[in-house]
Amino acid sequence: MGCGLRKLEEPEERSPGKIYSTLKRPQVEKKTDTAYEYVLLDFSLEGRRPTVQGLSSLCELPQALLPYYTQGYLLAALHPIILSVGRNQALPCSLLYRAILTRPRPSKQMVPVCQSVPVLKVEEWPLPGDSLTGDTVRALIDRVNSSARGGVRFVGSVLQQVGTESHSCNGRVPSPRRGCQSPSRIPPQDRDAEGTTYNPDLRLLVLFHSWPPGCAPLDALACCYHQGALSMRVARKGQAVSALEADWLELTAAYYRKGWSLVDSFVYWDMPKGEPVPRSLEGLFVYEECSTAPPANDTIVVEQWTIIEGSCVKTDYGPLLHTLAEFGWLLTCVLPTPIIRHDSEGNLATKQVVFLQRPVRAGATQQQNQAGYPHSEVSSPSVSRGVGSPLLEELSRDTGAFGETSICGEDYPNSLSHLDDGFEQDDGAAQVTYI
C-alpha cells in the first residue's frame, strides 16, 4: 500500500506536483451527499504588500475571518507559505500565511443552525526547551487534549520565532521577526517556578474553535487527539532541505481506517550544527477522533508547488482543491516544507503537502492506488473562492519548470471531465506519478 520509496532525484523541474489516493480516479470523482466550498486567504505580517491583507499579528486572525464565519465558513487549516529553515536569513514572503476556510455547500434541505457557529480563538503557549522535539510535541498534544475536555475543538498550530519586544496574544500585539514552522535553536531561556525551561523567542500559537455553553455540537464535545509517526527521506544542499519523499498512504492509512482526521503536523526540520547530515527526518502527525464509531475515511495527498510572484500567489493547490470539493473531499491539514527554488521566470517556488479525506462510500471497494491527476494552475493573488479550477488540458505541452502560471482571479470550469485518462495504475501496488 502506498508508494514505494525510490532514490531521490534532483532537480524536479518536470515534476510540478504529485497526487496520491486510496482510490482510483473514477471513484474519486463519484458524487457524495456532501459537497464543500472553500475560500483561500493570504495574510502578511509585514503589512506592506498591496495584494494581500496585512496583520500585525496572527492574534488578529479571528477578527479578520469573522465576516466569513458569519457566512458559515470555518477555518480548516493555517500555514506559513514560506519556511526559511536551514537558511542564514529569512526569505522574502516568510511572513506570508495562508488560511483555508470551508463550509458544506448550502442546499434546500439544510436548515441553518446559527447557535452552533463557533468562535475562533488563538492561544499562545510557551515552548519548553530550546527547540521542537518529540517529547515537546507529545507534551503539547497532552495539553491539547486537556483543553478539548473543556469543550473546545483543536484546529491547528503555528510555531513562530519572535523578538524580545513581543507581547502575549492576551496583551499587546506581538511583532514577530519572522515566521517559520521550526526555527533554529536559540540559547536564551527562561525558567518557571517549577524549573521548566522555556525559550522566550519561540512560541506556539494554537487555534481552537469554541462554542457558547450548551451550543457545541455533540461530536465536538467528544474529541480527543492522538499522535502518529511522520517520517521522510530527504536530500539536502548544505543545511537546507532540497527534496523529500514519504510514503504518505502507508503513514496515514491505519488512522484513516479508524475514521480519524489528520489535523496537524510537526516536523523537526532543523539540523543541529556539528552533527552528521541526516538522510531522513522525523516528526509527528496529530489525528482527531470525534466519535466512538466513526466511518472509515479514504484519503488524497497532494504534493504541490506554490509559485509566488512578488506578493501574489500565482500557482498553488487552490484550483485542484475547489474541484475536489465538488466530490465531497474535505481538506484537514497542510504540511509546508522548506523546499524552496526559483522557477524558469525567476519566481520563488516552494512545495507543500495537502491532505484531504472523505468517508468511505457504502459498498465501495477500496483500492490502494495512486490517482494520476494533472498539475493544477493558479487561483487568485489573495483570495481564492470555489468558483472553478484551472487544470492543464495538454499534459504533453512543455510548460517549463514547475508548469505555466495563469492570470490571478480568472474563472475556470468546475470539472475533472477533461483530465487525461492515460495514466497507468497497478491494482497490486501504488506508485509515484509525476504530474
Please tell me the distance from the alpha carbon of residue 178 to that of residue 114, in angstroms, as a whole number: 37
Distance between CA 279 and CA 127 in Å, rounded? 27
* Cβ-based neighbour number of residue 109 at 10 Å: 6
Indicate whether 431 belongs to any domain.
Answer: no
Q: And the C-alpha cell for 360? A: 468511505
Is the whole-model pTM more than 0.95? Answer: no
Mind giving me the DSSP string for 118-142?
-EEEEEEEEEESSS--HHHHHHHHH
Calpha distance 92→75 (Å, rounded): 25
Q: Compute the residue count for the chain.
A: 435
SS3 call for 323: helix
Q: What is the structure's pLDDT at 353?
A: 97
Answer yes or no: is 140 within a domain: yes
Provide the residue type at 186 as one letter.
I
Q: How far apart (Å, rounded) are the C-alpha atoms in residues 64 and 45?
A: 13
Residue with cell 470555518: 74
Give the integer Cα–Cα distance in Å for 327 and 220: 24
Q: Is residue 292 in some structural domain?
A: yes
Give the C-alpha separation, 239 to 170, whole Å: 36
Write out the three cell numbers for 175: 511583532
Q: Which residues of the chain have pLDDT under 50?
A: 1-6, 10-15, 113-114, 164-167, 172-188, 365-382, 385-435
Residue 1 in domain: no
In a domain, 57, yes or no: yes
CA distance 67 to 11: 42
| Residue 176 pLDDT | 39
Question: Please, are residues 61 and 68 in contact by the beta-carbon 8 Å criterion?
Answer: no
pLDDT at 362: 72
Bridge-partner residues for 96, per DSSP?
Answer: 44
Pairwise CA distance, residues 368 & 265, whole Å: 23
Grid cell, residue 162, equals 519572535
Name beta bridge partners: 385: 39
Q: Three-class SS of residue 338?
A: strand
pLDDT tens digits, 281-330: 999 999 999 877 789 999 999 999 999 887 778 889 999 999 999 999 99
**Is there a domain that residue 270 lies in?**
yes
Dmax over CA atoms of the chain, in Å, equals: 64
Within 8 A by CB and 6+ apart from 396, the residues are none
DSSP for 159-195 reads EEEE-TT---TTSSPP-EEEE-SSPPP----EE-TT-
Say if 252 falls within a structural domain: yes
- Which residue carries 465538488 as its cell? 326
Count how many Cα atoms sit within 13 Å of the Cα of residue 302 in the half-sphere of its side chain.
Answer: 26
Q: Any long-range contacts for 234-240 (C-beta under 8 Å, 24+ apart)?
A: 234/8, 234/278, 234/279, 234/280, 234/281, 235/8, 235/10, 235/279, 236/86, 236/271, 236/277, 238/86, 239/86, 239/87, 239/271, 240/85, 240/86, 240/87, 240/338, 240/340
* CA 110 from centre of chain: 28
Q: Which domain holds residue 347?
A: 17-385
Q: Quick one: pLDDT at residue 64?
A: 96
Domain count, the chain: 1
Alpha helices in 178-263 (DSSP H): 218-221, 248-257
Handedness of CA 304, 177, 156, 235 (dihedral sign): positive
Asked whether residue 323 is domain-assigned, the answer is yes
- Per-residue cell: 223: 474529541
- Residue 141's pLDDT is what? 95
